[in-house]
Chains A and B, each alone.
Chain A
């Protein structure tokens, strides 16, 4: 008897794989990582390393305990680690960063079934949990220019201290207070361009998200340039809101998702007691994703309503 392999068609496959996509995202995060080290110093690298290592260890340990196949090689835990670190102040106590990683990987990702099954973005949710749990350390910002503790641009705007804001160029390249990976909009844009070129993400979420924040804050009498460069918008719009698992699957749905993220961000920024709202907005839209999917079903070619 011959030993031919028999399977369903197709018999050839595209080269892209899940781990290649994840690797592309990691590559796209490198400019922002370099920028964060240049801006905030070596501790930025330390915090990132701690988050990545603990995410990987938690994922490995969890899968080991529940006797599931090892999935570390898909790099998804690495991305969660990097993104979580990027959302933390550079001064965060390391044990808190480890705690955040546990929340992201165990509570948000693995308890829901692991990669592809979680309904909320692990890094975003972990950041929100940490923000509520460690409200002091999570809102202690270092101003990279003078090295002393200061406020983020959005907090300054909230308090009406517009005169104390850094210049637009400084804000764009990241010389301002904020989470360690969010400040350099330039580096994040470079990463975003790479993801677009590699077709890992489509333009729909980031463009809709950023445009809505720009337009709405302008209409509501804010300085829109400060609003898009001063907070975590680029990090959120390019890397967090585009997470495949927790965002809609069609381009139409993605566009709506981006608009929703933008509207909630503006709402939280301008009307809540918190200066920033990107992570809350994304988390909220994550919850709405199944409904967006339901209402943006693609229409089959020639399909008749049943």
Chain B
């Protein structure tokens, strides 16, 4: 049935922390919680300086439909509310809480009640859940779609194809009951024809755990994927598991599918079981500069510096700090940024491992084309970008690039292709916006003249 095989690359797995159970990080002295850890509108602070807060207390309320509420991850006193640097490189309004060390639960915490889909969605929203695979799209907004009851597949993404990162694996093993619970909730309220748990074949422990938990459940399948990057990219996943192609511009549910990260579903599962919203995160701490790689459970807002310190510091001077995996993660300018909802790993590398390679001339070997999971032609896109030919950029569908980095990874000339793709997208976008504005002005002008006559 599958005519076309999706291509990718095979970076060394380096899943060093695969068997490291997630351990609690000692409580940080203070946490700094940004109000925009999800995509969409930032949350609005509902506490003020000097307020006492407790674990799980709402401190930022969802501002709009595509937004998510934010909760205190420690108990203590609000020390400041100001703009702070985030992992993404942007600044965001952040609430700093000085911990009192007691970790008292907020008295308002109670188990949610849900009997209808709407009540379920409200509870999902209240849990603070957002797409923890990296995009951070608010889960409740994602699930609020027309004809959700006609969904064929919900794919639970446990591919974790990025090297080094093992936090999803640990969630599936250590937090298996919540994955189970999350799937049961999805079955109960959304009831898709199938829930498919997708795991790469290098995570046997997680595969066995899931097989054991869902044994005899006809509605749930475990799908074992070959270990290849970017197996966890949502369109790639949908194609490899269901054989369905998501057309350009369409959304996954247009082909009857939905992809949810395996850790995301544990967030609302936990909320249903304990009443505690998303206040902590399993984070893989690894990389060649880290002395003792570990998986840590850190309160959201913990400065990443403390995670490295708990892993016995560095073996040498780190040259590059990455939030996320080495293929798509963001490199950080400092250690003073906090862990956010979407942080699944922080990596530190020694200089010798992250030397910027020398960029040489493109020799048109076509390897970037051979490895692009979206079957784009990065070599042609780069040429089109150099000439600033917008119609060529459109022809070559640069807008469909998922920024997975396979082209730049495989390029023998080490061309900065991901950067070029992004610049091309921006160029197209600004140009289109300018054209639209010009057209708008023209119609307004016409209307004015019409009135004058």
- Using CB atoms and an 8 Å cutoff, list the residues of chain A in contact with chain B: 1-14, 16-21, 71, 74, 114-117, 244-245, 248-251, 293, 297-304, 306
Contact = CB atoms under 8 A, between A and B. Distances in A.
A246 to B, nearest CB: 8
Contacts, number: 162
Contacts of A1: 334
Contacts of A3: 319
B1 interface: no
Contacts of B419: 8
B374 interface: yes
A244 B366 contact: yes
Given A115-B363, A297-B377, A12 B235 contact: no
Nearest to B248: A304
B379 A249 contact: yes
Interface stretch (B137-145, B188-196, B322-330): B322-330
A301 B6 contact: yes
A12 B409 contact: yes
B51 to A, nearest CB: 32
Given A298-B375, A300-B400, A5 B408 contact: no
Interface stretch (B65-73, B94-102, B273-281, B353-361): B353-361
Nearest to A293: B380
Nearest to A294: B380
Given A12-B11, A302-B248, 9 more contacts: A4-B334, A5-B320, A7-B331, A17-B360, A71-B361, A245-B364, A300-B376, A300-B400, A303-B375
A11 B349 contact: yes
30 contacts: A2-B334, A5-B319, A5-B320, A6-B331, A7-B356, A9-B331, A9-B405, A10-B405, A10-B409, A12-B326, A12-B409, A13-B411, A14-B9, A14-B410, A14-B412, A18-B361, A116-B361, A116-B362, A116-B363, A116-B413, A244-B364, A244-B365, A245-B363, A249-B364, A293-B380, A298-B369, A300-B248, A301-B6, A301-B245, A301-B373
Contact of A250 (B246, B334, B366): B366
A298 B376 contact: yes
B416 interface: yes
A249 B369 contact: yes
Contact of B329 (A9, A13, A248, A301): A9
Contacts of B349: 11
B326 A302 contact: no
Interface in B373-397: 373-377, 379-380, 394-397
Contacts of A8: 416, 418-419, 422
Contacts of B332: 4, 6
B248 A2 contact: no
Contact of B395 (A5, A244, A306): A306
B216 interface: no
Nearest to B419: A8
Contacts of B247: 302, 304
B321 interface: yes
A14 B411 CA distance: 8
Given A4-B320, A10-B405, A17-B414, A303 B356 contact: no
Nearest to A246: B364
Nearest to B409: A10
B318 interface: yes
Given A4-B320, A14-B409, A301-B375, A71 B360 contact: yes
A291 to B, nearest CB: 13
Given A249-B377, A299-B375, A11 B326 contact: yes
B175 interface: no
B397 to A, nearest CB: 5
A294 B265 CA distance: 45
- Top 9 A-B pairs, shortest CB-CB distance: A249-B366, A10-B405, A116-B361, A11-B326, A244-B365, A8-B419, A12-B326, A304-B248, A302-B245
Contact of A10 (B319, B321, B326, B369): B326
B333 interface: yes
B377 to A, nearest CB: 6
Nearest to B327: A10
B185 interface: no
Contacts of B333: 2, 4, 6
B249 interface: yes
Interface string B327-355: 11111111100000000000001000010
A298 B369 CA distance: 8
Contact of A297 (B329, B362, B396, B411): B396
Contact of B365 (A4, A21, A71, A114): A21
Given A8-B416, A245-B364, A300 B374 contact: yes
Contacts of B354: 5, 11-12
B378 to A, nearest CB: 10
Contacts of B239: 301
Nearest to A21: B412
A141 to B, nearest CB: 34
Contacts of B364: 116, 244-245, 249
A302 B422 CA distance: 20
B366 A303 contact: no
A304 B400 CA distance: 10
A267 to B, nearest CB: 27
A9 B356 contact: no
A20 B11 CA distance: 18
Nearest to A114: B361
Nearest to B244: A302
A301 B401 CA distance: 10
Interface string B173-207: 00000000000000000000000000000000000
Nearest to B354: A11
B252 to A, nearest CB: 11
B404 to A, nearest CB: 8
